[in-house]
Amino acid sequence: MDFKKTYITSDLHLEHRNVIKYCNRPYEFSWEDVAKMNEDILKQFDELPAGSTIINLGDIALNSSLTFDKLKSFVDRMKSNDKKLWLVLGNHDREMNQRIKDLRRFKTPYDLFIALGFDRVFPYPILLENKYLLSHEPVYLKPGNNLVNLYGHTHDCDIPEDYFCHEVENFAMMERVQKEGITQQTNIDVDCDAISDPNKVVELSNYKNMCWDKHHRILKFNEIIE
């Protein structure tokens, strides 16, 4: 994989008015400004080089009145100039085909996002170069390992070292890690029954937040890993 032509982001939350309030995005809390927010984010995709690959770590859009055609227009614009789109499904992506009326004809979120035009769709975290673990929700990594978890989900907040010592929002992702055999890596712990554990502190150097709300831009992959 050519990291010089690869970009990464997460949690765009297109069409989501409440994200303006929750994440202090620089817009008014109005539908008019939601359109401005969408446009500002999509312009960043316009400016990426032709032929590049963009990895999104989940939560593309959120609005109960979304339609397939509206989503398709977003994806088509992201893919302009022969760009490739990868998606690691986020918690909102995994529910979209069930919760939104116009999308219920798709049996699985995978079917939906492939139909929208994503080139690769992953319902589970992916491991690149045996070093970079790309996930939506953060994954617990045992201290002392050499993996780096590039994660989304937490928006403008980096995880604290005791993140996994408390109950956290969504661990459906953990089951997918287990099913896909990524747990063959002995330094990844996906014990779903014991995920809230006061002893599960992490080394923050193993974690990097990829969310749009953290950086307000799409990140170049080779800048992250240098």
pLDDT of res. 164: 82
Pairing state of beta strands 126-128 and 132-135?
A: antiparallel
DSSP letters of 203-222? -GGGEEE--HHHHSSPEEHH
C-beta neighbour count of 163 within 10 angstroms = 18
Beta bridge partners of 165: none
Tokens encoding 74: 């977003």
Percent of all residues in the chain with a pLDDT value above 70, rounded to a whole number = 86
Contact 155, 213 (CB under 8 A): yes
Report the distance separating Cα 104 and Cα 36, nearest Å. 28
**Inter-residue contact 63 to 16 (CB < 8 Å):** yes
Is residue 131 pLDDT above 50, yes or no? yes
Q: Residue 47 burial by CB count (10 A; 0-12/13-18/19+): exposed, middle or buried? A: exposed
- Range of lowest pLDDT (73-77, 124-128, 140-144, 176-180): 176-180
pLDDT on residue 172: 41
Which residue has tokens 């990140």? 219
Q: What pLDDT is attached to residue 186?
A: 46
Q: Rounded to whole angstroms, how far apart are CA atoms 48 and 115?
A: 23
Lowest mean pLDDT among 63-67, 122-126, 182-186, 205-209: 182-186
Q: Which helix (H) or strand (E) holds 72?
A: helix 68-78
174-203 pLDDT, tens digit per residue, is: 444 444 555 444 455 544 444 567 778 899
Q: Is the pLDDT of residue 170 over 70?
A: no
Provide the 8-state DSSP code for 43. H
Do the strands 148-151 and 207-209 form a parallel or antiparallel pair, or are they unpaired? parallel
Q: How confident is the model at residue 26 (pLDDT cuts 50, 70, 90)?
A: very high
pLDDT at 196: 61
In one letter, which amino acid is 55?
A: I
Average pLDDT over residues 212-219: 96
3-class SS of residue 80:
coil
pLDDT at position 198 is 75
> Mean pLDDT across the chain, nearest whole number?
88
Give the relative orientation of helices 68-78 and 31-46 as an angle to the nearest 10 degrees.
30
Query: Average of pLDDT values for 202-214?
Result: 95
pLDDT band for position 62 (50/70/90)?
A: very high
In this predicted structure, what is the pLDDT of residue 173? 45
